[in-house]
Structure 1
Amino acid sequence: MPRATGPLAEALAHRTVVLDGGLSNQLAAQGCDLTGGLWTARVLDERPVQVEAAHTAYARAGAEVLITAAYQVGYEAFAARGRDRDATTALLHRSVALAARAAEACDHEVWVAASVGPYGAVLADGSEYRGRYGLSVRELAAFHRPRIEALLAAGPDVLAVETLPDPDEAEAVLTVLAETDAPAWLSYTVAGGRTRSGHPLPGAFALAAQAPQVIAVGVNCCDPADVLPALEAAASVTAKPLLAYPNDGSVWEPATGTWRAPGSLPSWPTDAWYRTGARLVGGCCRIGPDRIAELAREHGGPIM
Structure 2
Amino acid sequence: MFTKEVKDNRRSIALLDGGVGQEIYRRARDVSSPLWSVAVMLEQPEIVTEVHADFIRAGAKTLTLNTYAATPTRLRKQGLQEQMKVIHQQAFVALERAINATGVQVDIAACLPPLTASYQGQPARSFEDVREEYDTLIRLQAGADVVLIETMTNTLEARAACAAASELGKPFGVAFRLEANGRLKSGETLAEAIAAVEGYSPAAVMLNCCDPELVTGAMPELVNLYPVVGGYANAFKSVEAVASGGLVDALEARPDISPEAYAALVRQWLADGARVVGGCCEITPGHIGFLADALAGEFNVVRFSQLGFYSPFEGD
Query: Distance between the aligned counterparts of 2:11 and 2:199, measured in 1?
Result: 21
Change in Cα spacing, 1:81 to 1:168, as seen in structure 2 (3 Å) is: closer
1:179 equivalent in alignment to 2:179? no
Matched, 1:242 2:232: no
Question: Paired residue for 2:303?
Answer: none
Q: CA deviation at 1:67?
A: 1.0
Q: Secondary structure at the match of 1:145?
A: helix
User: TM (normalized to structure 2)?
Assistant: 0.81
Q: CA separation of 1:61/1:287 partners in 2, compared to 1, >3 Å: closer, same or farther?
A: same
Match of 2:139 among 141, 149, 154: 149
- SS at structure 2 position matched to 1:38: coil
Give the one of 77, 90, 94 matched to 1:94: 90
Post-superposition Cα deviations, 1:114-160, rounded to whole Å, max 9, x if no partner, equal 11111133xxxxxx2132222222221122111111111xx111111
> Shift of residue 14 of structure 1?
5.3
Q: Name the CA distance, whole Å, in 2 between partners of 1:32 and 1:20.
A: 23
| Separation in 1, partners of 2:226, 2:235 | 27
8 Å Cα contact 2:73/2:115 also seen in 1:
no
CA distance in 2, matches of 1:63, 1:33: 28
The answer on whether the counterparts of 1:202 and 1:236 sit within 8 Å (CA) in structure 2 is no
SS in structure 1 at match of 2:102: coil
1:48-67 equivalences under 5 Å are 48-67=45-64
Matched, 1:43 2:31: no
Report deviation, 1:256. 4.6
Question: Closer, same or farther in 2 for the Cα pair 1:119/1:106, shift >3 Å?
Answer: same
Separation of aligned partners in 2, 1:107 and 1:14: 25
Take 1:199 and 1:75, find their aligned partners in 2: how far apart are those partners?
Answer: 26
Partner of residue 196, structure 1: 185
The one-letter code sitting in structure 2 at the alignment partner of 1:185 is G
Structure 2 residue runs without a partner (length 5+): 1-9, 301-311
**1:73-88 matched pairs, under 5 angstroms:** 73-85=70-82, 87-88=83-84
- Please tell me the residue identity of whatever aligns with 1:217: V
Structure 1 residue 130 corresponds to structure 2 residue 126: no
Gaps of 5+ in 1: 1-12, 122-127
Q: Distance in 2 between matches of 1:265 and 1:181?
A: 37
Q: Report the counterpart of residue 101 of structure 2 in structure 1.
A: 105
8 A Cα contact 1:224 1:249, kept in partner: no
Which residue is 2:129 aligned to? 139
Note closer, same or farther for the CA distance 1:80–1:197 as it changes in structure 2 (3 Å cut). Answer: closer
1:47-78 CA-to-partner distances (Å, cap 9, x unmatched) read 21211111011111111111111000022333
Aligned to 2:290: 294
The alignment partner of 2:93 has SS state of helix
Task: Work out whether residues 103 and 111 of structure 1, in 8 Å CA contact, stay in contact via their aligned partners in 2.
Answer: no
Shift of 1:180: 2.9
Q: State the alpha-carbon separation in 1 of the partners of residues 254 and 75 from structure 2.
A: 34
Equivalent residue number for residue 157 of structure 2: 169
Identity percentage of aligned residues: 26
1:49 is matched by which residue type in structure 2?
A: E
Q: Residue 157 of structure 2 aligns to which amino acid in structure 1?
A: E
* Distance in 2, Cα, partners of 1:261 & 1:94: 28
How high is the TM-score relative to the length of structure 1?
0.84
**Counterpart Cα distance in 1 of 2:251 and 2:74:** 23
Cα separation, 2, equivalents of 1:82 and 1:196: 28
1:289 Cα deviation from its structure 2 partner: 1.0
In 2, are the aligned partners of 1:209 and 1:237 still within 8 Å (CA)? no
TM-aligned CA deviation for residue 111 of structure 1: 1.2
Give the root-mean-square deviation of aligned CA atoms: 2.3
Say if 2:25 and 2:37, in contact at 8 Å, map to a contact too. Answer: no
Verify the 8 A CA contact 1:18 1:295 in the aligned structure 2.
no
In the alignment, the residues of structure 2 paired with residue 110 and residue 98 of structure 1 have an alpha-carbon distance, to the nearest angstrom, of 14
Structure 1 residues 175-200: Cα deviation after superposition (integer angstroms, max 9, x where no partner): 22343313211011112311122210
User: Any conservation in 2 of the 1:190–1:196 contact (CA below 8 Å)?
Assistant: yes
